[in-house]
Structure 1
């Protein structure tokens, strides 16, 4: 991503909803007469501020996590971090020691299994099944757990597939984890960007903090679902205050505090007056662009296969020719060189077993996705047959 995104003409590897400006953010407020200058308190002294995060921002997060559950999440059970990547690292650094065992939902963002391994933990991958709508097998999950299992790591909604762990499966995971006193962490950075399922559906996935188990952790950020990656604001939340204290101790050596200015923008975005219109914009953007991507896949179904995403911003599409997966890295490099279209090779980004897969990020600006897919269509017609395939 670092190497290629600055030169991409059509970035459809991007995993954030098309990012917005502060002026655009203000336009989503339901309050009349709000200006961009109203978001930030320019009279405030720029010291470290509230060390664990602003009361305003944590209050809005507490409200969101407390919705439709019997026990509200206390404000003190939330720590603000500079992005979800920092939030995830903090959890791992605070909780894991050499010799611990971790079970990680897979495929997923590499940090979620590589960082635990770098800290000396033994990691087992709980693999989603592409032939079963990317659902992993619960019995396989149970077989991976052992007496040293300290942490179960989930990614819900899942990057790169855009699928969800459904409510019934989450309940099974929680029941099993609780009976074995294992902590469950869920990277929920793509929540609440649901566009193929609704809260009315029986299997709609609640947050991991809403399932009645104390030893649960959720991480999130303003980057993906809220289109504000530039403010670098994320969080760790848990039902267990002791877990938050462990994280806070580790945090003293890495973060101190997060920018007051960034937190003020985040608090405005998550306020009751703003969040609904902002999320509506991003969900509709994802729906519109996913329709464009679905048309492309259908038109090229002799080469492409997928499970259509129901949440998040990413799709995992397999490209084949003559029954063999194409070399995805060569495919992506050649496409960008000849068309300016960027997406991510699956085996390079998520593990060697995903040969032929590419991750497409479809929540960039609609014109970028539309024009990029048109350029890709031309490439498929003229150049695709010349790509190498994998044995």
Structure 2
């Protein structure tokens, strides 16, 4: 059966085209081809990104070798064997990569454990395929860390997949190395594959690789029965080219996903892959990520000042990575109706937030804020929210 309506996407589709200040967007501020070319360490023009003489065939079915080679370089960190390009499949965005994994590995009667809150696809699609899904809930009082003992209690003999989201949407939290080692050891003891949606990696704005809490990609850990997914949309500012991927150190998992992918994708646009390969090339990727991490740091400081100024009404755990923050708005000690708040805010100011209830009914009062937009958009948008808080916030109904 088809999954239920995708609440986040339904809200975005309804409201984002009319927003003056879209602070619900999860992608880093988008780039034009001209701006992307300008980030290169070698002289480049928009035209030089594309081979305009190449015939537009399907190309290499798993994905172009230049693109997969650049991706393999990103996953081949020090201390690990290089990840072969053959262990990567290119897809139309990370959403297609995730779907491919579920389609390949999950069926009726299976059991899946999913890190939560998270992108609805990660638990609704397995359920639509006939699986029973248990939610492994992050705890705000623990900085949005989930409890490992709770995961142990959720895993069963018929568990066929553990799903992680690291960094996490919508909280911006991370799963640190000690917890990742516990998770992979548990999965290895029962031979359970793990899917790690790492679409917000490597946008780490509030933690450095020198920190003991800095999370490696799951592909850097010893357990090989794992799959990671990613895309050019979030951390790399190129949502418009619709390029994502899935990768694994287990060739058997890649083979199963490739067989499933034949029914859904066949191949990804050759033009899109040429742009993606350019963006992830050694001459460009550092400038691109540097631009986006600086935007994230600057705008997160603006958002933190807003939260502190309105601490009577706002509470949060400051995000560590990614592009989103999860903020709770309350009044009189009670959560506000986040959907009414978001509608009134946009109608009166043009500022778009996303209600937390799009992630589940229990997230009353929460809103997701996407803060890695152009600095002016965030600064002006938060000023409009400040005015709303002063004049109209008292009129927002409280949650039932």
- After TM superposition, the score normalised by the length of structure 1 is 0.99
1:45 equivalent in alignment to 2:55: yes
- Return the alpha-carbon distance in structure 2 between the equivalents of residues 68 and 383 of structure 1: 53
Helix, strand or coil at the partner of 2:187: helix
Whether 2:158 is the aligned partner of 1:145: answer no
Q: Equivalent residues in 2 for 1:244-255 (5 A)?
A: 244-255=254-265
Matched, 1:27 2:38: yes
1:356 partnered with 2:365: yes
Q: Does 1:389 align with 2:385?
A: no
Aligned partners of 2:291 and 2:80: how far apart in 1? 30
Question: Structure 1: where are the runs of 5+ without partners?
Answer: none
Q: 2 CA distance for matches of 1:317 and 1:282?
A: 22
CA distance in 2, matches of 1:130, 1:69: 34
Q: CA deviation at 1:69?
A: 3.3
Any idea what SS the aligned residue of 2:18 has? coil
The SS at the match of 2:25 is coil
CA distance in 1, matches of 2:332, 2:219: 46
Q: Does 1:59 align with 2:69?
A: yes
Distance 1:216 1:231 in 2: 26
**Other-structure match for 2:19:** 8
Q: Distance between the aligned counterparts of 1:375 and 1:36, measured in 2?
A: 36
How far apart are the structure 2 equivalents of 1:120 and 1:72?
A: 36
- Which secondary structure does the structure 1 equivalent of 2:16 belong to? coil
Q: 2:394, 2:80 → 1: CA distance?
A: 57
Give distance in 2, aligned partners of 1:335 and 1:203.
36
1:259-281 CA-to-partner distances (Å, cap 9, x unmatched) read 00000000000000100010000
Q: Which residue of 2 aligns with 1:373?
A: 382
1:274 alignment partner in structure 2: 284
Unpaired stretches in structure 2, ≥5 consecutive residues: 1-11
Question: How many residues align structurally?
Answer: 389
Let me know the Cα RMSD of the aligned residues: 0.6
Aligned-pair distance for 1:227? 0.2
Alignment of 1:250-269 (within 5 A): 250-269=260-279
1:175-186 matched pairs, under 5 angstroms: 175-186=185-196
**SS of residue matched to 1:168:** helix
- Where 2:115 maps in the other structure, the secondary structure is strand
Q: What is the CA–CA distance in structure 1 between the aligned matches of 2:145 and 2:223, rounded to whole Å?
A: 22
- Does 1:102 pair with 2:104? no
Which 4+ runs in 1 deviate beyond 6 A?
none
What is the alpha-carbon distance in structure 2 between the residues aligned to residue 204 and residue 72 of structure 1?
A: 21
C-alpha separation in 1, matches of 2:79 and 2:129:
35
The answer to whether 1:331 aligns with 2:338 is no
Give me the whole-angstrom Cα distance separating, in 2, the residues matched to 1:150 and 1:197: 33
Write the distance in 2 (CA, Å) between the matches of 1:315 and 1:70: 32
Give the TM-score taking structure 2 as reference length.
Answer: 0.97
The whole-number CA distance in structure 2 between the counterparts of 1:322 and 1:68 is 52
Tell whether 2:205 aligns with 1:169.
no
1:76 matched to 2:86? The reply is yes
Alpha-carbon distance in structure 2 between the residues aligned to 1:354 and 1:131: 14
How far off its partner does 1:70 sit?
2.3
1: CA distance, partners of 2:83 / 2:171: 30
1:190 matched to which residue of 2? 200
Equivalence for 1:126: 136
- Paired residues for 1:197-236 under 5 Å: 197-236=207-246
Distance in 1 of aligned mates of 2:399 and 2:127 = 29
Offset from partner CA, 1:118-160 (integer Å, 9 cap, x none): 0001000000001110000000010000000000000000000
Match of 1:237 in 2: 247
Could you tell me how far apart the structure 1 residues matched to 2:206 and 2:374 are? 19
Q: Distance in 2 between matches of 1:368 and 1:273?
A: 29
Q: Secondary structure at the match of 1:103?
A: strand
Q: Hey, what's the Cα distance between the residues in 1 that align with 2:150 and 2:376?
A: 42
- Tell me the distance in 2 between the aligned counterparts of 1:321 and 1:166: 33
Aligned partner of residue 3 in structure 1, secondary structure: helix
